[in-house]
């Protein structure tokens, strides 16, 4: 992925604060933010909200062959997390006992560096999650 500075800046609210959308018509939360509610389309009323910082793992994997920018991290855990408002997010799981990384485990958001600087020199930061006891 090409992490140019403008792209990185545009994504600050989502990556730093886990900001997404909430549709006041159908009461569904979405992450990341979107312009149109897929349920209600033009009848939808989307507002920007900060997502809850906790959720649970609904699937996970341990990545052994990393893409560019993640060599120092590998092997690392990735998971799909269902947040408390029902929105889902893919994230790394860090600072956790591997035994406790399983489907159903409760997790909370932490703030970390994401990848090693690429050819654009941008250092990217954002959310990761850790298992809570």
Partner 1 sequence: MRVVIVGAGITKFAEHWNKSFRELIVEAAVKAIESSGLKGEQIEAIYGGCMASGRLIGQEHIGALIADQLGLNPIPSTRCEAACASGGVALRTAYLAIKSGLHSIVAVGGVEKMTELSTQAVSFALGGAGDQEIELFHGATFPSLYALLARAHMHAYGTTEEQMASVAVKNHANALLNPNAQFHKEITIEDVMNSAYVAEPIKLLDCSPITDGAAALILASEDKAKELGLKGVEILASEQASDTLALSSRESLTELKATRIAAQKAYERAGIRPSDIDFAEVHDCFTIAEILAIEDLGFFKKGEGGLASEKGKTSLKGKIPINPSGGLKAKGHPVGATGVAQAVEAYMQLMGLADKRQVKNARIGLTHNVGGSGATAVVTIYKRFKG
Q: Is there binding between residue 42 and partner 1 (CB under 8 A)?
A: no
Which one of Zn ion, partner 1, none interacts with residue 91, CB within 5 to 8 A by kind?
Answer: partner 1
How far out from the chain centre does Cα 62 lie? 16
- Residue with smaller CB distance to partner 1, 52 or 66: 66
CA distances from 32 to 17, 19, 35, 109, 111 (A): 11, 7, 10, 15, 17
Q: Is there binding between residue 91 and partner 1 (CB under 8 A)?
A: yes
Binding residue for partner 1, selected from 5, 26, 36, 103, defined by CB under 8 A: 103
Binding residue for partner 1, selected from 66, 106, 110, 122, defined by CB under 8 A: 66
Are the C-beta atoms of 94 and 60 separated by less than 8 Å?
Answer: no
- Residue 28 has phi, psi (to 5 degrees) of -105, 140
Which one of Zn ion, partner 1, none interacts with residue 44, CB within 5 to 8 A by kind?
Answer: Zn ion
User: Exposed, middle or buried: residue 133 (CB in 10 Å: 0-12, 13-18, 19+)?
Assistant: exposed
Q: Is there binding between residue 93 and Zn ion (CB under 5 A)?
A: no
How far out from the chain centre does Cα 57 lie? 12
- Residue with smaller CB distance to partner 1, 23 or 124: 124
> How many residues sit in the footprint of partner 1 (CB under 8 A)?
36
């Amino acid at each position: 992925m090409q992490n140019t500075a403008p792209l990185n800046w545009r994504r600050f609210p989502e990556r730093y604060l886990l900001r997404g959308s909430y549709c006041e018509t159908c009461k569904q939360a979405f992450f990341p933010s979107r312009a149109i509610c897929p349920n209600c389309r033009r009848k939808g009323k989307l507002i920007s909200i900060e997502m809850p910082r906790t959720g649970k793992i609904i699937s996970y994997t341990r990545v052994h062959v990393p893409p560019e920018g993640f060599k120092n991290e590998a092997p690392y855990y990735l998971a799909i997390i269902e947040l408390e408002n029902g929105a889902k997010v893919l994230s790394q799981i860090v600072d956790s006992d591997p035994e406790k990384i399983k489907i159903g485990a409760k997790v909370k958001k932490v703030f970390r560096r994401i990848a090693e600087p690429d050819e654009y020199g941008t250092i990217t930061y954002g959310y990761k999650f850790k298992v809570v006891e």
